[in-house]
Amino acid sequence: MRLDYFIANSANQSRKEARRTIMAGRVTIDGTVCKKAATPVSGHETIQFDARDMILPGERYLMLNKPADLVSATTDDDNATVMELLPPELRRNLRIAGRLDRDTTGLLLLTTDGQWSHRVTSPNALCTKTYRVTVADPITDAMVQALSEGVTLKRESKPTAAAHLERLSAKEVRLTITEGRYHQVKRMLAAVGNHVVALHREQIGEVSLDPALAPGEFRALTEAEIGSFR
């Protein structure tokens, strides 16, 4: 879409007023002033008007308690997806802000707001993700120390960022990370000689999975939950 269309709809202006706003230098895209009304925007950018974040009206923000055996995708030719848990009227233009593996359960965030989704998933945001991890073998002190300091994953040279661990039982930990590498939690435990047998995401940033939601259920995010990522 064009920038003037975005500003007109998000700031309740006419297209003519939006063009004047943009040409006056009052609009920034990812922190840079943009004075061209025809500039194309995708919704992944951070767009501000007079230093205020702009979003299109009618955006939807949902949390879902993902069950196992569903793919975190909008469409999939071979597998059932999490979108099938939602009524058709809610699915339009939804994107998943931080996917989970097919066998991983727990908190999934979905939204139509591209800017908001980008803030949840961007590596630069350092958004924390907390998981309850069940492993095959007992967690040793050496494993806890290694994970807390950062480990080198297979076929990678840069160690993971330091993780926070809370030991819940001999074979269960609560693990908080700030990165989002491919299969990161499973690979981190493999790097210290263990194996993940169950993985459940409890929290993203300040948003925790609602304990009232059974697997497969969803609800709209509160204004406070939405605002916590801005």
Which residue, among 52, 46, 183, has the nearest Cα to 117 in the 3D structure? 46
Instruction: Quickly state the pLDDT bin for 43 (edges 50, 70, 90).
Output: low
Q: How many residues does the chain have?
A: 230
Average pLDDT taken over every residue of the chain = 93
Of 101, 113, 137, 210, catalytic: 101
Of 15 and 106, the one with more pLDDT? 106
Instruction: Quickly state the pLDDT bin for 3 (edges 50, 70, 90).
Output: very high
Once rounded to an integer, what is the mean pLDDT over residues 10-30?
A: 92
Instruction: Round to whole Å and give the CA distance between 222 and 217.
Output: 16
Asked whether 49 and 21 are in contact (CB, 8 A), the reply is yes
The structural domains of the chain, ordered by start, are: 3-53 (3.10.290.10), 61-123+207-227 (3.30.70.580), 128-204 (3.30.70.1560)
Per the annotation, the verdict on 4 as an active-site residue is no
Once rounded to an integer, what is the mean pLDDT over residues 104-131?
A: 93
Once rounded to an integer, what is the mean pLDDT over residues 169-183?
A: 95
Once rounded to an integer, what is the mean pLDDT over residues 127-137?
A: 97
Instruction: Quickly state the pLDDT bin for 214 (edges 50, 70, 90).
Output: very high
Could you tell me whether strands 196-204 and 105-111 are parallel, antiparallel, or unpaired per DSSP bridges?
Answer: parallel
Instruction: Round to whole Å and give the CA distance between 42 and 176.
Output: 31
Tens of pLDDT, residues 91-108: 878 999 999 999 999 999
3-state secondary structure at position 59: coil
